[in-house]
Amino acid sequence: MVNEKILLLIGAFIFGSIIGSFLNVLIYRLPRGLTPFKPTFSFCPNCRTQIKYYDNIPIISYLFLKGKCRNCKSPISLRYPIVEALTGFASILAYLKAGLSIDYVFTFLFLALMITLSFIDFDFKIIPDEINFFGFILGLIYTFFRDDYSLFDGIIGAGIGGGFLFTIAYFYEKFKGIEGLGMGDVKLMIFIGSYIGWFGALFTIFLGSILGTIIALAGALASNIEDKGKYEIPFGPYLAIAGSIYLLIGDKIRAFYFGG
Ligand SMILES: [Zn+2]
């Protein structure tokens, strides 16, 4: 007898990796100003050949083609299967948290958007407004389906998340004379705050800063001394990781913090 629970986990992974393959399209097209839904097929970024459906199976096709385009043999970035696998795992985590429920849908959408914006931020140092705005609206709609957050909590979370990071950015710029944080990060905190409330938003900024500082120090140590001033890291991915952790295990974090 095959365990039903394991089958559901495999199903969650496969579903997630299929969505991940669409996220790859968004990650490529959104920052380049291309429309995400046209053309509906994927194409090789090098030779522009349409990718056949049987070459577009998440993860498996990459392994089968040994990471090369079938037509022009140019290497396909390892990022594509990584995003697909990551989204598959995100789907599993959302399922483990929420089971098959409306909570799963909103949790998985949050994680999928975090993956998308993280990769875009890494490449282009921007977070598209479309993602932050869509996520913020999603977070507010989600409050109507949950009993741990009201619409009011969502709005307060968005306000405190965005407002707190904006204040830090304002003073940082005033005292150092350089722009340290982008408005994209502030808008991202509005999105994240709408999903996880004011305490979750503050936790996210706190943990995100720690993660970002550790990686920045490691990066500065690893790079040349002359490059140190130029070494810049996007903050978005660290906020995304911290926010995702809170969305998944926030109740445990709250219990630990407030001793509940
Ligand atoms: Zn090609």
Euclidean distance between CA atoms 76 and 162, whole angstroms:
37
pTM for the model: 0.92
Per-residue pLDDT tens over the stretch 35-57: 877 777 788 888 988 888 888 89
pLDDT at 222: 80
In the reported structure, the alpha carbon of residue 75 is separated from the centroid of ligand 1 by a whole-number distance in angstroms of: 8
Residue 72 CA to ligand 1 center (angstroms) comes to: 4
pLDDT at 182: 81
Residue 2 predicted with pLDDT over 80: no
Q: Average pLDDT of 115-125?
A: 94
- Predicted confidence band at 223 (pLDDT cuts at 50, 70, 90)? confident
Distance 69 CA to ligand 1 centre (A): 5
pLDDT band at 1 (very low <50, low <70, confident <90, very high): low
CA distances 225 to 169, 228, 246, Å, are 26, 5, 36
What values do phi and psi take at 59, rounded to 5? Answer: 60, -55
Distance CA 126, CA 129 (A): 9
Residue range 7-13: mean pLDDT, rounded: 96
